Each structure stands twice: as structure tokens, then as C-alpha cells.
Structure 1
């Protein structure tokens, strides 16, 4: 096991606290990932020093979680969370501790954590302190709660979903007692904010094995217990998976591969994976929008997902490599946007069985669609060589709905290759349209 650059940069913080007589260690994910040889995402530090002593020890600090003992220390322009050893009690709504007590014992601090693989500490000399067998569980491929699994999951019900994510991400099987506790307490997910569920789902779909995560979610039935209902088709798909595998052992179920979901690892982008999942589940635009709304994802993400699903749905009726097909593709490109078209093509190229099964697309058709996409000179009004002010100047008319209509018709004509996308050609077409069709009626002239 070698020191990463991230740990080396953070080491002076441990030395500073230790020089003041405060036991201090690296904890949590950075220790786990170091043991596994994975790239560190962040470095967390736990210490016997009180929050006030941490603030006094460093020149640049931010009291981000003073009540719970967490101080953000800024060292060489990098921020680190330094948290005082603590115990927790009286959890509120199965998520947040109502009360914490600062302690001097590292063992007590590690005991409050979720899983053994996250309850290890590393000292400044590189030695690992592992009172609950996290290293053994990593070697044996087991995810296990620290101490009593019923207590750990009732303290923070989000750990139920995090168990699925960790098991999938690190290729672990969930220990039998931990799994049974998950099944006993999964109804507590009704207390967890949907934003938190959404964050966990994002990490699952962007992880190394989203199919394994999907298998655990399906077999456990967790999707039926969220605070707000997920799209019924998604829940039903999980239930069908569960019924198909209900005779399998927990380990076999965890290792099962749904062929189509497993193919998502061919896609690098999380957004592409989400779109592929929705396509595989046959969610329509409304259901996809409902899913992202329930998970509290940004409106821009939902809009983009809906565009890809809309395009996919429109192409399911089949496609021909002729002029009619080219014009249809261009209409859809303008309707749903170039970004959605590019995303759909990425998905179709990476997972041809998805679009071939749903939309009857062959590789030859996908390649032609790529070529037609690249040949389009303008895919949005802002890419036109003329602006609204140019049309107002030649029309001598006040702005109104007619202007947007004219720009839109110019766009369709330019995208289809009927008019060159240069300013003079577009102005001549606009003048002709306005001359023969007063303001609002320009479609026939341009097409």
C-alpha cells in the first residue's frame, strides 16, 4: 500500500494536531480507497481535538459543522474536513443525530460509522487501525454493518441505499445479517429526503457496475418504499426482475446481470446512462420527467432527458435511408435539439441492441444519421447567418410573432439544404416570403 499524493498533501494537518497532543487520523473512504488502490476523491480527518482546538491550530478555518464537530481547514488552497471524535444518539427521523457528544476515544468514533470498510483509520505513520475487521471484509468481498446492523440502519435509513451502492461499486456481497436488517427496515426509506436518494442513484448509475446495483434494488424491493413514489413502470420492472430471480440465493441475485442494463457501462457519461436506462425501461417523456422530478434533479437535466426520450420514441416507427428519411431526421433534429440527437446516436452506437430492438436501427442507418447530422449547416436559430434585427430592418414592420415564425422557417429551409446558410441568401428568401406572403405566411414560399 503506497501513499497517494492526496494523503501526502494532507499529512501536515495530522502532524500539526499531533504536535499539540491531539490524536489524529485519516478516516473513512480515503482509508478504504487507499487499501483498495483506488483514486481518492477526498480526504477526511478525525481528531481528539475539540472544534475550538482545531480552529486554534490552523490559520485558515471555516466552522462548517461546528455543532457536530466538523471544521473545514484550508491548507495550501485545498479544503479538508476535520471532525472531532464523537458519539451520536437520539437520531431524528431516522437520518440526523439530534445529539452528539465529543469523546477522546477513536474506537467510539469508529463505532458510530456505517460499514466496516468505512470504519478504518490510518495514522500518520501509515499504520491501519481496524477494530471491526474492515480489511478482512474487503479481502473476503463482504459488506457488513459495524456492530448491530439493526441499530446502524435505524440510526440512518439512508445507509440502506448506501449499502446497495457500496456493494455494487466495490463488487461486494452483502453479509446475511446486514441483508436481513435491510429487508426488516426498508420501510424507513419513507423518512429520507428524495434529494438524498437521488444523489445515491446518481452514484450508482455512474459507478462501475450499475447492473449489480439494479439487481440489489430490484431483489430488495427498495424502490417501493421511497418517500415519494417513483414511476410505476420503473417499480413494476423491478418487481418483474425480483419474481424472475426469487429462487436464487442472495449472492446469485447480487451477481446477476440484466443484459441490457449491464451494457450501460459502455457509456461514459452519467446522462447517457440515465437516458439508456429510461429507453431500456420504455419510459415515455412524462415518466422520465416524473423520475427526475422525484429525484430532485436539475430542470436542465430533465429537459435534456425528455428530449432524448422524445427523439427515441419518434424513431421507433422505423426509418428508411431515402430523402423522406433525411427530412424526417432533420425535423426531429430541430425539434429535439442537436445535443439530444448526438446523445441518442452515442447511445445507439454503444448499445446497438437497444435501438435496433426498439427502433429497428441498423449500423448503416446510424452511420447515415451521423453523416446527415454533420452536414446540417444550422440546427438552431442562433446558428443562422441572419438575426432578427436583420429581418426587422428589411421588413419595416414592428416585431411580433411573425418574426419568430419567419426565423423558424428559414432555419428549416437552411437545415434541409434548400437555402444556403449565408446572410444574403437568407435575406433574399425572407424578402421573397414577405413579399408574397404577408408576415405570418412564409412556409410555402420557403419550402
Structure 2
């Protein structure tokens, strides 16, 4: 078999080990992806040499996981993990082996792996070592556990979720025996840390077939078995999908057709926002979900902001677009590009309160997933009439605002403090926000003199009731 440039570059590592009398092979994902003609993410090597013998064979090494037999070798600016052939004893808490034993036989090492498509090796001359039929399974489009599926999944319960990810990413059918074992042992997910589940979900939603991953998660019942509960909307949507006859699953549920649009969204963070919007999650619920999955707080904040924009604008956008349905195409496009005054106001305020980035992300999402703002009972042509020009008008409005944040104002807080001649307090932030909204909506130019005059008027209005109360005291 011909090798990719990435494997060819690593051949000297195999040659160095073989020159010392050890067996060395490419193994795992790099072999699988080479067979499929996909770009390689990593190049992993397995060998009969012990970790100490690997270290002795190369001038630059990093002892990254000696207890598991892994040494990282630095070669021509790249790093390669070289792992000693090993077998694993009984697993603790359905996740990690209690003991690792180094062996010298390649087949023993391959036998411990999760799925046949990951239990293949390639020698330096390109010949394959495939004792469990991984090549055949790839050709047939099947995902199958190595050996006994029940044993493999009970050893490491994370494999239950990884099976779904691999099946979706590589467009594979899960073998009946493996599928039954997944459903039988899904309760073991309660032993898996949520950050591990989160990593797998991230890979699924960022993959080539997020909608298929979601369908498999729903049909398997896995979403209700995690260590910490996911939002009720996930379980409800999954249960509704799983209850459908197989022949109707392609488009019967309202969310199902929307799921098919996820792959058309380039950014994985926006896919998350679209998914949560489809399921009806609000900003707080989205942030809580990301907390449950142990994602960085900044990601949760971004998701919450996009969902808040969706909550503020979805119904209004749906109403505007339905009002365009049935018009001739040219009239429709022209009308869509002219936002109604109340829509323009609501849109600008949403962008100011939740951020321009969140507002622009939302328009990008709905352009690719019109179901998010579509009403039932309409044909696709009617429901989405004018969406392109309408979304462009929204984007242009946000990009054209004279000020999108307080930092963009031509007047600063210290100038307002001097104008008011009073100590700082909550009033200052409120005044700055009011000036920002006035400038963004076009009520006052974003110029220092105009903003100071507006601020003086607003301060006078604030002071008036205070003076009135003082007069009666």
C-alpha cells in the first residue's frame, strides 16, 4: 500500500527500531485514515521494544507515559508517540486498566483495541497486519468491536460514545452485535467523567455528520445515561426521535430536518448554538449545558449571548419573513432589504446588549438553517422567501452602527464625571449605556459635543425628581 507523506516522514523511526532487532509498525487511526485516503491527524507507532529500549534508540525523547509504555520521540521537528506492545488487565471503574503488561507479540496488542477499524497495523514496507478484519469492515462500511462487544464496552465505557462518533464521522453502520451491546451497557456512562463526554460531543458536533451522531445518540438512549443530567430538552427530543418508526426518522420530527443543516455551518461553536436553539434552550440553559460538559466559561458566555439574540429576534424575523411570502421575487428581495422600523430598533438593541459578534453569528446561523425562524404550515419557498436579503440587511445594520459598544463612544466616563460633578456610581454605567443606545439608533451623533449635550439633558432629568423631593422635605 502506498504511504502518505506523513507516514513516509516517520519511516526512519521504524527503521531505527528494526535495526536494533525490534518489530515496529504504524498502528491505529493513521492506518485507518490512510486506507480511507483521509489526511492524518497523528502518526502512532507500536513496537516490541520496551520503553527503555525506545529511549536508547533515539537522541531526543520525552517520557510522556512510561507506565503505559509510551515514549514521545522528537524527529525532524515533529513528535511521534511510540508505545510498547501491551495487554491490559481488568479495568477499574469501567475506564482504565488496573495493570498494563508489556508483550512482544503484535497481535496481542491489537486484540486489546476497541474497534476492528482501529486494530490494524502497517509495516514499513506497506504490508498490512489485520487479524480482526478491519479492512473488510471499512470496505463494507461497518463498525464492529474487536472480539466480544460486551467485554470491550465494559472494559472502557467511553467506547460506547466513541462508537457513535466513529460511526458518524466515517459513515459506518454499527454492527448488530455491537449496537445491542451499546444499548445493553449504556448505563455504564454514569462512570465516565463529564469532561470526557464533553470532548466526544465536541468532536461529534464539529465532525462531518453531526446530524447522524445526534440520531445515533437519540436512538441508543445514551443522552439519558450521563453521569450528570443533560437538559431535559435533549432527553425529550431523543425520546421523541427514538419512538418514531425507522422509516419516518428522516424528517418527521420538527427538529430532525433542522439537524440536517448543522453540517452546513462552518464553525463548531455556531453549530452548538444552532442545536441549542433547535431544542429551545435559552441563554442560561445553554451556559449551564456547557458547564455540565466542562467547557471553558468563555464558550458558555458566547453560547448564551447567541441564544439570547435568538430569543430576542426569532419570532420577529419569522413574522417579517412570512409577511413577504407570495410576493414576486424582485419585490420580495427589495422588501426584505428594508427592515421595518420596529425590527431595526429591536435588532440594534439586541446587538448592543448581547454583542455584535453574537448578533452576526446568529444571522450566519439562520442563513444556513432557516428552520430556526420558520413557521409550520408553509412550503419551504414561502417560509424562507427573502431570507437572504433580510439577513444581509440585519448584518449591514450591525456593521453600520456608529457605536457598537461603550468603548466606541466619542465621550468617556471621566468626561461625564466632570460634567455631572458627582462621585462615580451605578448612574454612570446607566448613562453610558443610554448614550450608546441613542448613538446606535441614530438619535444623537456619535460626537463628543452632541453626546455631552445629551448627557446633560439626561442628568437634568435624573436630578429633577431629586430636587422636587428636596423642596418638600
TM score, norm. by length of structure 2: 0.86
Are 2:332 and 1:346 equivalent residues in the alignment? no
SS of the residue 2:261 aligns to = helix
What pairs up with 1:231-270 in 2 under 5 angstroms? 231-245=231-245, 258-270=256-268
The match for 1:405 is 430
Asked if the contact 2:26/2:44 (under 8 Å) is kept, the reply is yes
- Unmatched runs of 5 consecutive residues or more in structure 1: 442-447
Per-residue CA distance 1:117-137 (angstroms, 9 max, x = gap): 001111112222111111110
Task: Give the whole-Å Cα distance in 1 for the aligned partners of 2:418 and 2:10.
Answer: 63
SS of the residue 2:132 aligns to = coil
CA drift at 1:428: 4.1
Asked if the contact 1:406/1:440 (under 8 Å) is kept, the reply is no
Are 2:354 and 1:336 equivalent residues in the alignment? yes
Per-residue CA distance 1:294-349 (angstroms, 9 max, x = gap): 21111111111111112112224425532222111111111111111011100111
Distance change >3 Å, CA 136–CA 401, structure 1 → 2: same
Asked if the contact 2:316/2:343 (under 8 Å) is kept, the reply is no
Are 2:304 and 1:306 equivalent residues in the alignment? yes
Per-residue CA distance 1:138-174 (angstroms, 9 max, x = gap): 0011101111111111110110111111111111101
Task: Give the whole-Å Cα distance in 2 for the aligned partners of 1:160 and 1:208.
Answer: 19
The match for 2:117 is 117
SS of the residue 1:87 aligns to = strand
Asked if the contact 1:32/1:117 (under 8 Å) is kept, the reply is yes
Task: Give the whole-Å Cα distance in 2 for the aligned partners of 1:106 and 1:126.
Answer: 16
What pairs up with 1:427-446 in 2 under 5 angstroms? 427-434=452-459, 437-438=462-463
Asked if the contact 1:141/1:171 (under 8 Å) is kept, the reply is yes
The match for 1:296 among 294, 297, 306 is 294
Aligned residue pair count: 435
SS of the residue 2:208 aligns to = coil
Task: Give the whole-Å Cα distance in 1 for the aligned partners of 2:260 and 2:141.
Answer: 21
The match for 1:376 is 401
- Unmatched runs of 5 consecutive residues or more in structure 2: 321-338, 377-382, 467-473
The match for 1:324 among 312, 337, 342 is 342
The match for 1:51 is 51
The match for 1:32 is 32
The match for 1:279 is 277
Distance change >3 Å, CA 366–CA 406, structure 1 → 2: same
CA drift at 1:367: 2.8
Runs of 4+ in 1 over 6 A off after TM superposition: none
Asked if the contact 1:391/1:427 (under 8 Å) is kept, the reply is yes
The match for 1:222 is 222
CA drift at 1:424: 4.1
Asked if the contact 2:403/2:446 (under 8 Å) is kept, the reply is yes
Asked if the contact 2:403/2:436 (under 8 Å) is kept, the reply is yes
Are 2:108 and 1:83 equivalent residues in the alignment? no
What pairs up with 1:146-161 in 2 under 5 angstroms? 146-161=146-161
RMSD over equivalenced CA pairs, Å: 2.4
SS of the residue 2:202 aligns to = helix
CA drift at 1:436: 6.0
CA drift at 1:439: 11
Asked if the contact 2:403/2:440 (under 8 Å) is kept, the reply is yes
Distance change >3 Å, CA 439–CA 390, structure 1 → 2: farther
SS of the residue 2:62 aligns to = strand
Q: Which moved more, 1:414-423 or 1:306-315?
A: 414-423
Distance change >3 Å, CA 10–CA 386, structure 1 → 2: farther
Task: Give the whole-Å Cα distance in 2 for the aligned partners of 1:436 and 1:18.
Answer: 85
Asked if the contact 1:402/1:439 (under 8 Å) is kept, the reply is no
Task: Give the whole-Å Cα distance in 2 for the aligned partners of 1:199 and 1:419.
Answer: 48
CA drift at 1:12: 1.9
Asked if the contact 1:28/1:121 (under 8 Å) is kept, the reply is yes
CA drift at 1:394: 4.5
The match for 1:421 among 439, 442, 446 is 446
Task: Give the whole-Å Cα distance in 2 for the aligned partners of 1:218 and 1:309.
Answer: 23
Q: Which moved more, 1:239-248 or 1:195-204?
A: 239-248
CA drift at 1:54: 1.4
CA drift at 1:25: 1.0
